[in-house]
């Protein structure tokens, strides 16, 4: 069977997108998804997304990690899927869609997509890190100089180590550049490597910086290897609401592949 695919990227976080409103894609085939995401033997991507019909909203987002398993929420992926839906005329400039972690609102202006994330009210603070869930689980550490870190080695150790073990976590390393700007590098669970950016990861860093009083701003700029992202939020009694992840979501190319 031949399928039409579309490649998008959001700040270097790249995705295969398939229109699955006809429900023809074999989404239970883990090996197939692995092969499609493989950068040597397939199309190559950090993850694969299906756009499906939703009973109550504009569309449904299904996200699969590069390892072939269905993943938790992907912020950059959600933004790219919004851009894809606009390209197909499914939406205009605003949308409401459903994902694995609930309902999301988004708005697209040019190549930038602003995506509302879920509220965050459960933050675990340790002596050297913060743990929180921004749609996906994230471990956040702040360092003075990220160039001195082996991101892959240290990220992998934390991802599989105590207290996360096999369930694992995404791991973010952040460096403050000024009062509301941070450099971020992320080791992603499911990709099992560093990615050029991670939407839920930079969201976690932005919230952690405010929670720890490293920054008193509610509008944080995040610099990743793949580009710049912004996170804004409202905070009351250490509950973070109206969290908006904003950044570019760009069409790369499309094609047909035999599966």
Q: How far is CA 87 from the centre of its chain?
A: 20
Encode pLDDT of 152-180 as tens digits.
Answer: 999 999 999 888 877 899 999 999 999 99
In whole angstroms, give the CA distance from residue 74 to residue 71: 8
Domain annotation for the chain: domains and CATH numbers: 2-117+249-258 (3.10.310.10), 123-246 (3.10.310.10)
**pTM for the whole structure:** 0.96
User: Which amino acids are annotated catalytic?
Assistant: 74, 198
Using DSSP's 3-state secondary structure scheme, residue 146 falls into helix
Using DSSP's 3-state secondary structure scheme, residue 131 falls into strand
Identify the band that residue 36 occupies on the pLDDT scale cut at 50, 70 and 90: very high
In whole angstroms, give the CA distance from residue 94 to residue 19: 19
DSSP single-letter state for residue 120: B
pLDDT at residue 192 is higher than 90: yes
Q: What percent of the chain has pLDDT over 90?
A: 94
In whole angstroms, give the CA distance from residue 124 to residue 130: 6
Peptide bond into 71 cis (omega under 30): no
């Amino acid at each position: 069977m031949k399928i039409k695919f579309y490649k998008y990227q959001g700040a270097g976080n790249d995705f295969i997108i398939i229109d699955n409103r006809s429900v023809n894609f074999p989404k239970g085939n883990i090996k197939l998804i692995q092969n499609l995401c493989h950068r040597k033997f397939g199309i190559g991507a950090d993850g694969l997304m299906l756009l499906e019909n939703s009973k109550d909203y504009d569309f449904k987002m299904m996200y699969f990690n590069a390892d072939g398993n269905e993943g938790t929420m992907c912020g950059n992926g959600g933004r790219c899927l919004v851009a894809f839906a606009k390209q197909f005329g499914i939406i205009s400039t605003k949308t409401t869609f459903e994902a694995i972690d609930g309902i999301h609102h988004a708005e697209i202006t040019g190549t930038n997509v602003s995506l509302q994330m879920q509220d965050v009210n459960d933050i675990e603070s340790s002596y050297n890190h913060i743990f929180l869930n921004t749609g996906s689980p994230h471990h956040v550490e702040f360092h003075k100089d990220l160039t001195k870190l082996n991101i892959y080695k240290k990220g992998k150790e934390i991802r599989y180590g105590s207290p996360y073990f096999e369930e694992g976590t995404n791991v973010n390393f952040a460096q403050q550049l000024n009062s509301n700007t941070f450099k971020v590098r992320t080791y992603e669970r499911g990709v099992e490597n560093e990615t050029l950016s991670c939407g839920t990861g930079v969201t976690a860093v932005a919230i952690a910086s405010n929670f720890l009083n490293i920054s008193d701003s509610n509008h944080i700029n995040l610099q990743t290897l793949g580009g710049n992202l912004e996170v804004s939020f409202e905070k009351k009694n250490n509950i973070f609401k109206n969290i908006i992840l904003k950044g570019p979501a760009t069409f790369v190319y499309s094609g047909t592949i035999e599966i």
